[in-house]
């Protein structure tokens, strides 16, 4: 069953409502530290999400290269999230990605519904909104468009937007360039763990099997942002996640027991270490809990690209080089698919015990 037009958050937000329906109101526990994101972003006190300059990651000068890798390693170990600058993807291409995504969401709702997914039948790619199948029965203040974007032979272009007409061309080029960036990061992280350069890439499926899935998150203006969440707290199951956004704040990270609002760094791409790399590194690199806030004043859009290993072909477990007598394995062996199921089961159990 395709979600009805009335349940799209964008339609709800533009209907002129002054208060949000009860299924969007989160618990007091979840709303801890939910404030004005614009004020939060201006806050200069407290911890700041690290910014990593990748310009020197492939420098000919070994010392310079090593310094860049050490900064990346520190950010991966302490935070598990960072803003990447000088990442090699042009500002022009990033602007075009933002433009075609935004133009899709500006289409009439009937036009967008032609691309609707059908979660009930397992067709998860396409245009959608969160169904109340999470254990709290609560909804998130967002609509989204979800699709596999790389490798190219695994894409289903039939569900991709036809309008704007350059959507496929722009998104495909961005995906190709992000795949190159993923290799660059995985190589550096391998070296940071004392592994051979290509090791982590091989462990997550290599060029043939690592898939990139893009989720464009559209967070409409919310009349009561202090009661809602754009995305509830979670860690990413991916190996790496790359996030582009429209320079509207909203990402919060749970760091050292407190929610920290990420600042919008111009021309940057935010990168999360996902559960997959946390497992392979035996917890040396962190997969950080994060969530998305909403606001009254501006629509927020983010383009999240999840780099994921194949669901069943690879057993994820701490690499032997990361384990010792004093550093026993923190994670049991599981396929990526089993890891996802384990997280869903654990979430259900947590919900029942609350």
Catalytic residues: 215, 234, 236, 290
Terminal Cα-to-Cα distance of the chain (whole angstroms): 30
Q: Please give the Cα distance from 219 to 230 (Å, whole number).
A: 6
CA distances from 228 to 13, 128, 145, 215 (A): 13, 18, 20, 20
DSSP β-ladder status, 300-308 and 290-292 = unpaired
DSSP state string for 87-151: -S--HHHHHHHHHHHHHHHTS-HHHHHTTB-BGGGTB-SEEEE--TTSTT----S-EEEEEEEES
CA atoms within 13 A on the CB side of 90: 5
109 closest CA partner among 94, 91, 84, 127: 127
273 closest CA partner among 286, 284, 262: 286
Phi then psi dihedrals of residue 111, to 5 deg = -70, -45
Give me the helices (H) in 157-289, please.
Answer: 167-192, 199-203, 206-209, 275-280
List, in sequence order, every residue forming a beta bridge with 242; answer none if it has no partner: 271, 305
150 closest CA partner among 178, 186, 118, 122: 178
What one-character DSSP code corresponds to residue 6? Answer: G
Q: Please give the Cα distance from 192 to 210 (Å, whole number).
A: 21
Q: What token pair was written down for 299?
A: 């629509």
């Amino acid at each position: 069953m395709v979600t009805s037009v009335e349940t799209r958050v964008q339609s709800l937000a533009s209907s002129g409502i002054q208060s949000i329906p009860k299924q969007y109101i989160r618990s007091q526990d979840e709303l801890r530290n939910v404030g004005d994101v614009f004020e939060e972003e201006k806050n200069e006190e407290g911890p700041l999400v690290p910014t990593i300059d990748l310009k020197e990651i492939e420098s000919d000068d070994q010392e310079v290269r090593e310094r860049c890798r050490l900064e990346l390693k520190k950010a991966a170990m302490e935070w598990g999230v960072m803003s990447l600058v000088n990442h090699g993807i042009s500002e022009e291409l990033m602007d075009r990605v933002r433009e075609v995504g935004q133009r899709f969401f500006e289409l009439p709702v009937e036009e967008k519904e032609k691309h609707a997914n059908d979660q009930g039948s397992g067709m998860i790619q396409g245009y959608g909104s969160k169904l109340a199948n999470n254990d709290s029965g609560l909804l998130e203040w967002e609509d989204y468009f979800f699709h596999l974007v790389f490798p190219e032979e695994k894409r289903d272009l039939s569900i991709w937007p036809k309008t704007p007409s350059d959507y496929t061309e722009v998104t495909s080029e961005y995906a190709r360039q992000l795949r190159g960036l993923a290799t660059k990061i995985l190589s550096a992280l391998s070296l940071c763990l004392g592994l051979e350069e290509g090791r982590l890439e091989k462990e997550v499926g290599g060029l043939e099997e690592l898939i990139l899935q893009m989720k464009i998150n559209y967070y409409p203006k919310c009349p009561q942002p202090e009661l809602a969440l754009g995305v509830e707290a979670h860690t990413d199951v991916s190996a790496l996640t790359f996030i582009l956004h429209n320079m509207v704040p909203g990402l919060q990270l749970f760091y050292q027991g407190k929610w920290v609002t990420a600042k919008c760094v111009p021309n940057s791409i935010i990168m999360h270490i996902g559960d997959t790399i946390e497992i392979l590194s035996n917890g040396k690199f962190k997969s950080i809990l994060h969530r998305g806030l909403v606001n009254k004043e501006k629509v927020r859009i983010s383009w999240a690209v999840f780099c994921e290993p194949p669901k069943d072909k690879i057993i994820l477990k701490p690499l032997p080089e990361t384990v010792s007598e004093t550093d026993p394995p923190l994670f049991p062996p599981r396929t990526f698919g089993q890891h996802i199921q384990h997280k869903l089961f654990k979430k259900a159990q947590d919900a029942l015990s609350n």
